[in-house]
Chain A
Amino acid sequence: GDSVTQMEGPVTLSEEAFLTINCTYTATGYPSLFWYVQYPGEGLQLLLKATKADDKGSNKGFEATYRKETTSFHLEKGSVQVSDSAVYFCALLDTGRRALTFGSGTRLQVQP
């Protein structure tokens, strides 16, 4: 079945450091891929998405490229801020699947 694997956290960085959170997936079809962010005490917010191979999703300085050959969708940001501290979830939605399949989440802590 479909699955999403994320790097384990927590990831602790200093402000202005470069961020990479790895995400790989297994799917039978050609899924759409998403990154969601969850701030403390809140629900999930859609951060960015990509719907086909080689698409790049971007938002608020974050980017991720849909790599079909490596089945990956790594999240990157060139310079993190303290306000980026949150939990990040990678997810996929495949045609015919009943619901989003989420990774286990990666907690990011950015220190001033």
Chain B
Amino acid sequence: EADIYQTPRYLVIGTGKKITLECSQTMGHDKMYWYQQDPGMELHLIHYSYGVNSTEKGDLSSESTVSRIRTEHFPLTLESARPSHTSQYLCASSDGSTLRGYTFGSGTRLTVV
């Protein structure tokens, strides 16, 4: 049973629209992450958070923004979607231990037309 939830699973939206991808976890993890997965499968870290009111940009520059007002919630927002934003977006969380891996959500596949 998934402990981290992403909605929607699929989204097709027109250029210029504002969108928010939701990510919630029930494990009480402090650390949360957003990865962008390109069609070639590679995973790129775009945002991460170490706790409430903490957000940082990742390795890949992204026009998206994130917020962390509650521990369990880490939404990603695109103010004006473009076709270049078409991708799969994966959310993950961890308790910060290097002994355990991350728990991933099922992902949101975004298509901007």
A95 contacts the other chain (CB 8 A) = yes
Q: How many residues of A contact B (CB 8 A)?
A: 26
Q: In which size bucket is the chain B interface?
A: 20 to 34
B14 within 8 A of A: no
Q: Which of B41, B100, B101, B104 contacts A104 (CB 8 A)?
A: B41
Which residues in chain A, 85-105, are within 8 Å of chain B measured between CB atoms?
87, 89, 91, 93-95, 98-100, 102, 104-105
Interface flags for A40-61 (1: CB within 8 Å of B; 0: not) read: 0111111001010000000000
CB <8 Å contact, B33 and A99: yes
CB contact between B98 and one of A36, A95, A104 (< 8 Å): that residue: A95
The answer to whether A46 and B101 touch across the interface, beta carbons within 8 angstroms, is yes
Taking each of B43, B102, B103, which has the highest tally of chain A beta carbons within 10 Å of its own beta carbon?
Answer: B43
- Residue of A with least CB distance to B108: A43
A107 to B41 Cα, complex, angstroms: 9
The reply to whether the CB of B74 lies closer than 8 angstroms to some CB of chain A is no
Query: Which chain A residues numbered 18 to 77 have a C-beta less than 8 Å away from chain B?
Result: 31-32, 34, 36, 38, 41-46, 49, 51
Chain B proximity of A76: nearest CB distance (Å): 19
Chain B residues within 8 Å of A98, by CB: 45, 48, 56, 58
**In the complex, which of the residues A36, A42, A95 contacts B101, with contact meaning CB atoms closer than 8 Å?**
A36
Residue of A nearest to B109 (CB): A41
Give the docked Cα–Cα distance between A43 and B36 (Å): 11
Is the Cβ of B104 less than 8 Å from the Cβ of A44? Answer: yes
17 A-B pairs within 8 Å (CB atoms) are namely: A34-B101, A36-B101, A42-B106, A43-B6, A46-B103, A49-B99, A49-B100, A49-B101, A91-B101, A94-B98, A98-B56, A100-B33, A102-B42, A104-B40, A104-B41, A105-B42, A107-B41
